[in-house]
Structure 1
Amino acid sequence: MSVASLKSGLDTLDVGAVYSSGTIGHDSPTTAAAPNIPQFSFDFDKLRHDMDVLQEKFDAFIADGRKRILEDRIVFEKEITDAKEQEQQISNQIEYYREKEAELAQESAREQQELQETESSISEFTRKKQDLIVLRDAVVAQIRETQLVVDKKLAARSQDRAKFLAQSSLNAPELAFWEKNLGLRIEGFDDDQLKIVFTLISESAWNREYYVVMDLSDPDYQIIRCDPQLDKNVVEGTVTRLNESRDFGRFLKDIRNAFKASGL
């Protein structure tokens, strides 16, 4: 029952009490019909005042409760909003870290592949290095062998040069005779080469020059040029006899006779 209904009942009770107390209508049939109803005194003003105070407190309690509920609802809704925002932020962070995890996984796979390629390249370069070391050692050994051969040839060449100079000094008087009477002239043609020139061979042209160019760079002599051109077998025969005997004077005679016999 509400406070307002209670107040209405009290107001009704108050009126009945007035009638029953006989203060209004002393000749009423009601008074005569109910002579034994007990009479009582009741402070309805105080009760009404207390009810008004109670109503005010109750209304204040209800208003305060509504206010607290509204404030709690506002706080709750704010907490829900904050929680949703935090949830969204956490979801965004989770998505971000998932993307980062995927990127790191790709980067790790790429680095692993690069590492494998680098290791493969290092292995290939190591193998090539070993091959080059072996090749270098073989080339160095070959160079040493070649150097030994060259040193031997240089030593032999020095000996031949010394023999040639010694023979030249012995043949100097005869060579001077040949140059004067037989038209023989020996010239330096190039490094380690001699040009041997003959004249007084052709009766129709005593001043015509016949010559051969000899290579002295090897232990064995070689004729590298001949003018006019002599028969190859004749030239090879004279050079072979020279290399076997080392008789340079006989060689000069053989070459002069070969030019003269050629009829050129």
Structure 2
Amino acid sequence: MTSLETAAIPPNIAAQLPSVNFGFDDLKERMAKFTIAFDEFIEKRREKSLEARTNYARDLADLTENQKTVRKNIQHYEQEEIKIQNNTEKEIQETADLENEISTIKAQKATRQAENETLSSQIREQSTAISKRRAKLLEEKQALASQANHNQPELAFWEDYLGLRIEGAGRLDHVRFIFTCLDETDPEREFEIVVSVESRDYEIIGARPRLDEATKTRCLETLNETRSIAKFLKSVREEFKKVAKN
């Protein structure tokens, strides 16, 4: 009922109307509380939204920074991968070179081993040959010693009566035979011949006066075939005697 309607009702009738409590004050209080609560809710939602937006912005900034870091790391790892690949290729090449060098060294070692075996075989053969040679030389020395003992009386005759003198020729294996009494015009004139006894076959090193090659060869054949010094000296003396007459 409005105030105009109440004013239109007479006082006595108005006094008789029942009193009605519509609860406006309570409603007003509740509305005020609701408004406060709603404002608080809105404020909290606003704060949460602001916080969420702040966190989102921060997270977005962090994500952007992380992306930058990831890109840098990716670039770094790509560069490292390139370096590793280059190093790997280099190591592969070095390994191949090393293997080739090892193969070369092994081949050289095998070759040297074969050469050493060949040299060892040659040394053994040479040692055997030297041993045989020594034995042969010893046998020849013994034969020469025996021949010398056999020829000693005859050589003494040659030295005393035929003017033969035997001397060294500057080397242990060279012997000089000097003849005199060959030249009737000059009995003291010397004729000499130098013989090498280094090997089994004797060799004439020189003669004074000079003898031709055919004569020396003939005298050497007599010596090497008969092994008789006396016969050799006799043949040489005859050749020098011919030279003295000429």
Change (3 A) 1:206 1:68: farther
Q: Give the alignment of 1:1-264 within 5 angstroms.
A: 35=8, 61-189=41-169, 190-263=171-244
The Cα of 1:104 is off from its aligned counterpart by 2.4
The Cα of 1:62 is off from its aligned counterpart by 4.6
Counterpart-to-counterpart distance in 1, 2:137 and 2:21: 168
TM-score by length of 1: 0.70
* RMSD of aligned residue pairs (Cα, Å): 3.5
Secondary structure class of the residue paired with 1:120: helix
Secondary structure class of the residue paired with 1:200: coil
The Cα of 1:261 is off from its aligned counterpart by 1.7
- Deviation digits for residues 188-218 of structure 1, max 9, x if unmatched? 3313222222233344544443322222121
Counterpart-to-counterpart distance in 2, 1:201 and 1:181: 12
Instruction: Report the more deviating stretch, 205-214 or 164-173.
Output: 205-214
Count, aligned residues: 235
Q: Percent identity?
A: 31
Secondary structure class of the residue paired with 2:201: coil
- Deviation digits for residues 223-260 of structure 1, max 9, x if unmatched? 12223321011011101111101110111122222223
TM-score by length of 2: 0.75
Which structure 1 residue ranges, 5 or more long, are not aligned? Answer: 1-19, 23-30
Secondary structure class of the residue paired with 1:201: coil
Instruction: Report the more deviating stretch, 52-61 or 232-241.
Output: 52-61
Which structure 2 residue ranges, 5 or more long, are not aligned? Answer: 15-19
The Cα of 1:46 is off from its aligned counterpart by 9.2
Letter aligned with residue 132 of structure 1: R
Counterpart-to-counterpart distance in 1, 2:66 and 2:188: 121
